[in-house]
Amino acid sequence: MRVIGITGTIGSGKSTVAGFLGELGARVIDADEVGHEVYLPGTDGWKAVVEAFGEGVIAPDGTVDRHKLGEIVFKNPAALAKLNSIVHPLITKKVQSRLKELRQKETRIVVLEAALLIEAGWSPLVDEIWVTTAPESVIHKRLAAKRELSHSQIQARIKMQLPLSEQTKWAGRVIDTNIPLPELETRVAALWRKLKQKTDSS
């Protein structure tokens, strides 16, 4: 089984690339979705987050309001470090469990999509890291449209991640997503073919 880690700055196109790979046959693990599970009411993660940040981060439906939590942690590096120390070990455990299950099923190619793949120390879980990139102006447009974040909110989130220059040091491949979607899909398909050849011959 070959595991590809896809990472990059928020809004850089990770989900788009991972989605294309999923359509081509890869099994995709989205660390953000796994993170949602960690925040479910009654779980150890939920209890620890509420204890650390107060009941003000609880949404009306009882889940952790990630928007409210984000407003706290993305303005305060110490608060973000505290949150990461709570959730990263829990997410790591879940990701490791899923990788084990997929390996037992003899899955050939798995994609782990994670914005904080490097920062969370998950690089040992993958065989190769692909970093998605886009100009900051494009990232701002994407996030303003998709997540309705303000300029300052976007900047705060970008600032909390590793700079692109550091991310690319870990990269086996850098993918520029600032191209028309059909062209990006064609490029990802070409990478998939190479990946399959490499995996099938190993």
Task: Dump pLDDT digits (tens) for 75-127.
Answer: 898 999 999 999 999 999 999 999 999 999 999 999 999 999 999 999 999 99
pLDDT at 34: 95
pTM of the model: 0.92
Classify burial at 45, counting beta carbons within 10 Å of its beta carbon; exposed 0-12, middle 13-18, buried 19 or more.
buried
Contact yes or no for 31/91 (Cβ under 8 A): yes
Residues of the chain whose pLDDT is less than 50? none
Classify burial at 139, counting beta carbons within 10 Å of its beta carbon; exposed 0-12, middle 13-18, buried 19 or more.
buried
Contact yes or no for 18/147 (Cβ under 8 A): no
pLDDT at 198: 87
Spatial separation of the C-alpha atoms in residues 149 and 140, rounded to whole Å: 9
Q: Which residue has the tokens 């969370």?
A: 120
Query: What residues pair up with 6 in beta bridges, in sequence order?
Result: 113, 130
Domains of the chain: 2-200 (3.40.50.300)
